[in-house]
Amino acid sequence: MNSKRFLEFYCIALLTALPLSNIMAQNDTVYLDDNQEVFSVVSHDPEPIGGRESFDKWIQENFKEELKSTEDNEKKVFYVQFIVEVDGTLSDIKIVKGFGEPYDDEVKRVVKENPTKWRPARQNNKPVKRANLIAVKI
């Protein structure tokens, strides 16, 4: 594994271990400020219907061209946190690690407007809300 891939893996692992903002951990469940139950550990993770590749492809195709990185063709990696609801929609989208405005706003926009539904997480064979953290490369 080259050092760049190791660093990306390490950052993702580190960020997923950090507590989510405004959320209090309690066993395998977390609670939002309004006491809504959101799972952090589930038997089946949420995933985009059609796969992560189609989700990422839509983001790339709809991200504003003028904001795409042109410096040495280096891609920017944003870490985006959101909740996958029981119906497969995304809510509470936040940039955990970004590059400031206008980049963070644009990443939030394309994640929010992405038409891909997600298969919700499952716990005890029932769909549940789950907090999710993904890396988005632009």
Name the pLDDT band for 26 (thresholds 50, 70, 90).
very low
Which residues have C-beta within 8 Å of that of residue 86, sequence separation ≥ 6? 120, 127, 128, 129
Report how far residue 136's alpha carbon sits from residue 138's, in angstroms, rounded to the nearest whole number: 7
Give the per-residue pLDDT at 36.
64
Burial 7-33 (b: 16+ CB within 10 A, else e): eeeeeeeeebeeebeebeeeeebbebe
pLDDT at 32 over 50: no
**Residue whose tokens read 């190791």:** 6
The pLDDT mean for the chain works out to: 79
Percent of all residues in the chain with a pLDDT value above 70, rounded to a whole number = 70
Q: What DSSP string describes 19-52?
A: PPTT-EEETTEEE-TT--EEESS-SB--EETT-H
pLDDT at 107 over 50: yes
Assigned token pair, 4: 């760049």
Give the per-residue pLDDT at 136.
93
pTM > 0.85? no
Cβ atoms 48, 84 nearer than 8 A: no
pLDDT at 42 over 70: yes
Name the pLDDT band for 77 (thresholds 50, 70, 90).
very high
Lowest mean pLDDT among 16-20, 92-96, 105-109, 116-120: 16-20
Q: How far is CA 67 from CA 38, 60, 137, 138, in A?
A: 33, 11, 12, 9
Other beta carbons within 10 angstroms of residue 2's beta carbon come to 7
pLDDT at 29 over 70: no
Q: Which residue has the higher pLDDT, 45 or 43?
A: 45
Backbone angles phi, psi at 126, to 5 degrees: -120, 140
The average pLDDT across 58-81 equals 84
- All structural domains of the chain, each given as residue ranges with its CATH number in brackets, are 47-65+75-137 (3.30.1150)
